[in-house]
A and B are shown apart, each in its own frame.
Chain A
Amino acid sequence: MLRNITIGQYLAGNSVIHNLDPRMKIIITIMMITALFFIDSFLGYALFFLAVIIIVYLSRIPPIRILRGLKPVLFLVMLTLILHVFFTKGGDLIWRWGFISIESEGLYTGFFMVTRILLLVVFTSLLTLTTSPLELTDGIEYLLGPLKRIGVPASELAMMMTIALRFIPTLLEEADKIMKAQMARGADFESGNIVKRARNLIPLLVPLFISAFRRADDLALAMESRCYHGGEGRTRLYELKIGIRDFIALGLSIILSLIFIIF
């Protein structure tokens, strides 16, 4: 059932990559992805891909897990490819049938864009595969920290993310239960046209919302009784510490990004 659902796609591990400071990992990811957009040759992509392979190797993540992560973007990839192949013109004519034609420029740009999307998704998933949601939240909180001065509630945002992560499985389980209970009263969630189906969801959504609000109410009370008073003056069980290897990783990726940007 929904009991064993995992949030995000985090794969617990103890590799060098897993143990990097989450803040560093977020910065590196952002930097590398920016660099990715500067790459203008397949040779650059090959170098980037090599970097990905090395990181995957170091992180001990089974490559199949990364490939599986590409499934949701497959449609986008295909669409990009088709659009470019058929509609970007220029270069030599490769194939023609009536008014449809494929020209070399289109083929090149198509594959170029697709490679970019794939590398982008793979690199980001490296972050989410090796960093637990908890660490991610912590990292984001720290990184947004300087923005507190201009009024960005960084700690509160992080708290919200944690709570959302905590309650997703609970609410999914609840949704499953409510759905079954309404089906036992003859509700039909499967047939009919879109309008009818949407209306049929009311018996599921109303109780689900009511329950979510009740939980929010309870939780707010519980948090208050446990002395929660916003992010101010809060300490943490785990304090993030940046070590030498974080700097090495950062240094390497700076060099790599510069190479991509300059060449």
Chain B
Amino acid sequence: MLIELKNVSHIYDDGQVTEALRNINLTIREREFIGLVGHTGSGKSTLVQLLNGLIKPSTGTITIDGLNITEGKTSLLGIRRKIGLVFQYPEHQLFEETIYGDVAFGPRNLQLEEEEVEIRVREALELVGLDYEEFKDRSPFNLSGGQQRKVAIAGVLAMKPEVLILDEPSAGLDPQGRQQLINLLEYLYEEKGMTIILVSHRMEEIARLSNRVIVMSEGEIIFDDRPEKVFSEVERIRQLGLDLPEITEILWRLNKKGLQVRTDLFSLTEAVEEISKELRGAEPC
């Protein structure tokens, strides 16, 4: 699976013309975990919708597995089978009477046999940690917010996409719900071999999970590199009004004050190890 964007621009025409994306060139390869960050209005959502064929670029081409999706006649259903998109607050799109029905919506749209649909619903629910037998006949509207979100994500997973795009999937969840979601993403990436594009404001999540970070601002890609590299551009990141991962922030400040710690660590254990090693070795500063 290979997604390629060549010179893609997108303009919204809503009375005044706003350029949402400017000349984007981007290649997404198999088994990448991409963190997509940027201010609200930086063009992230537009980019994400382009990848799924929900909107068409004003200029430029997008190819998915060699197939040009910007041409008129491409089957969009084919694209949506390959690229799953989980919108912000996906639980707001639930509509069926039963959880089974809701999760089955996508697979049924793909014209699958009902047996296959059932297998997929079962798998998807179990992936998000909901017991199939217990939940399948319940109404999605009687669940807690966190569970509703799981059902909604299962609805996308049931389409078995090769690429999964998630827009702020942890927004509004409590710490526990957030942790479960992170575990799910890790599992999908490590065990299921999915390519994942995570749009998030939570830099800790981005830094810990992704192996490539794309930073957008005003419709352009500012950085596209490994997380250690991107988050070492401290001044620029701040200029763009974005946060650093807190661990990076601490390490970076210590470093600036003269403690020779590495600043490219994103896990707490590693950072603690590094700081204590340095503190013991060095004379107090």
* Chain A residues with a Cβ under 8 A of chain B: 1-4, 174, 177-178, 180-188, 202-203, 206-207, 210-211
Is the CB–CB distance between B92 and A183 below 8 Å? Answer: no
Is the CB–CB distance between B80 and A4 below 8 Å? Answer: no
A184 to B155, CA, bound (A): 11
A2 to B15, CA, bound (A): 10
Given A183-B54, A184-B87, A185-B106, 13 additional A-B pairs, CB 8 A: A2-B14, A181-B93, A183-B80, A184-B52, A185-B80, A185-B155, A186-B77, A186-B105, A188-B109, A203-B93, A203-B105, A207-B94, A207-B95
Residues on the A chain within 8 Å of B81, using CB? 186
Q: A186-B106, A187-B109 are in contact. Are A181 and B90 (CB under 8 A)?
A: yes
A127 to B234, CA, bound (A): 56
Interface centre among A184, A186, A206, A211 (most CB of B within 10 A): A184
CB-based closest 10 A-B pairs: A186-B109, A206-B95, A185-B106, A184-B85, A181-B93, A181-B87, A203-B95, A180-B54, A207-B95, A4-B14
Which residue on chain A has the smallest CB distance to residue B111? A186
Residues on the B chain within 8 Å of A188, using CB? 109
State which residues 152-178 of B face A: CB under 8 Å. 155-156, 159
A180 to B105, CA, bound (A): 14
Residues on the A chain within 8 Å of B142, using CB? none
Is the CB–CB distance between B77 and A184 below 8 Å? Answer: no
How far, in Å, is A181 (CB) from chain B's closest CB? 4
Q: Can you offer 23 A-B residue contacts whose CB atoms are under 8 A?
A: A1-B12, A4-B16, A174-B92, A180-B49, A180-B54, A181-B85, A184-B52, A184-B80, A184-B87, A185-B80, A185-B155, A185-B156, A186-B81, A186-B106, A186-B159, A187-B105, A188-B109, A203-B93, A203-B105, A207-B92, A207-B94, A210-B92, A210-B141
| Interface size class, chain B | 20 to 34
Interface centre among B14, B77, B90, B109 (most CB of A within 10 A): B109
Question: Is B227 located at the chain interface by the 8 A CB criterion?
Answer: no
Is the CB–CB distance between A182 and B93 below 8 Å? Answer: yes
How far, in Å, is B54 (CB) from chain A's closest CB? 5
Interface centre among A1, A177, A185 (most CB of B within 10 A): A185
How far, in Å, is B157 (CB) from chain A's closest CB? 11
A140 to B196, CA, bound (A): 54
A188 to B106, CA, bound (A): 11
Is the CB–CB distance between B14 and A3 below 8 Å? Answer: yes
Question: Is B57 located at the chain interface by the 8 A CB criterion?
Answer: no
Question: Is B279 located at the chain interface by the 8 A CB criterion?
Answer: no
Question: Is B84 located at the chain interface by the 8 A CB criterion?
Answer: yes
Question: Is B268 located at the chain interface by the 8 A CB criterion?
Answer: no
How far, in Å, is B120 (CB) from chain A's closest CB? 12
Question: Is B272 located at the chain interface by the 8 A CB criterion?
Answer: no
Q: Which of B80, B87, B92, B141 contacts A186 (CB 8 A)?
A: B80
Question: Is B240 located at the chain interface by the 8 A CB criterion?
Answer: no
A128 to B24, CA, bound (A): 43
Is the CB–CB distance between A1 and B14 below 8 Å? Answer: yes
How far, in Å, is B47 (CB) from chain A's closest CB? 14
How far, in Å, is A241 (CB) from chain B's closest CB? 34
Q: Which of B15, B77, B87, B155 contacts A180 (CB 8 A)?
A: B87
Is the CB–CB distance between A177 and B87 below 8 Å? Answer: yes
Is the CB–CB distance between A184 and B14 below 8 Å? Answer: no
Residues on the A chain within 8 Å of B15, using CB? 4
Residues on the B chain within 8 Å of A4, using CB? 14-16
Residues on the B chain within 8 Å of A181, using CB? 85, 87, 90, 93
Which residue on chain B has the smallest CB distance to residue A211? B92
Q: What are the interface flags for B21-65 relative to A under an 8 Å C-beta threshold, 1 for contact and 0 otherwise? A: 000000000000000000000000000010010100000000000
How far, in Å, is A56 (CB) from chain B's closest CB? 22
Question: Is B110 located at the chain interface by the 8 A CB criterion?
Answer: yes
Is the CB–CB distance between A184 and B16 below 8 Å? Answer: no
State which residues 1-24 of B face A: CB under 8 Å. 12, 14-16
How far, in Å, is A173 (CB) from chain B's closest CB? 12
State which residues 77-100 of B face A: CB under 8 Å. 77, 80-81, 84-85, 87, 90, 92-95
